[in-house]
Amino acid sequence: MAVTKHTLGVLAGISIVVIIGMLGLMRFGGPKEAPPPADAANPAQVSAGRVVYAANCASCHGDKLQGQPNWKERKPDDKLPAPPHDETGHTWHHPDQQLFKIVKLGVAAIVPNYQTDMIGFGNRLSDQDIWNVLAYIKSTWPPDIQARQAEMTRNAAKQENPD
């Protein structure tokens, strides 16, 4: 069988379509990578998170994650003080995905128009830094609270990705 210019043109066209389709799949339709977890059992991640927490979070949330005094009572500017991140606070009532979003984008990303001093740290911290901080915070919680929060995180992930 002789290869004609027409056959070569058709093959070239098919090749281009296949390549474009593969590039599109790789960029838009391929499997989405799960964010790195905040693993409280990972000593390297917890240690790195402790350092980032001390440099960026402790000034408001306390060096022992204790939060500001009277954190449930509004200040004169109608904002709530920084809550504790230890087991006495409500941090553990939120799934990892939501905590990540709050740290990265600020509370307003979750609760629009909410008056708070909590800014987003997405321009200061890498995503990995944020996951490390969350791992550190979670590592300080008692095992039963870690388990309850992990279940919330799993349930939230199932709702986001039901397949």
pLDDT tens for residues 82-92?
A: 999 999 999 99
Residue 28 is predicted with a pLDDT of 43
Residue 163 is predicted with a pLDDT of 65
Say yes or no to pLDDT of 42 above 50: yes
User: How many CA atoms lie less than 13 Å away from 46 in the CB half-sphere?
Assistant: 11
Residue 48 is predicted with a pLDDT of 97
Say yes or no to pLDDT of 68 above 90: yes
Q: How far is CA 130 from CA 18, 79, 81, 122, 139, in A?
A: 39, 24, 21, 9, 14
Residue 125 is predicted with a pLDDT of 97
Residue 158 is predicted with a pLDDT of 86
The residue behind tokens 């693993």 is 39
Residue 26 is predicted with a pLDDT of 44
Say yes or no to pLDDT of 19 above 80: no
Q: Mean of the pLDDT values across residues 41-50?
A: 97
Written as one letter, the residue type at 96 is: D
CATH label, 43-160, candidates 1.20.1530.20, 3.40.50.2000, 1.10.760.10, 1.20.58.220: 1.10.760.10
Sketch the domain layout of the chain as residue ranges: 1-31, 43-160
- pTM, full prediction: 0.76
Highest mean pLDDT among 7-16, 47-56, 116-125: 47-56
Cα 124 to chain centroid, rounded = 14
Distant-in-sequence, close-in-space partners of 121: CB < 8 Å, separation ≥ 6: 56, 103, 104, 130
Under 8 Å between Cβ of 138 and 50: no
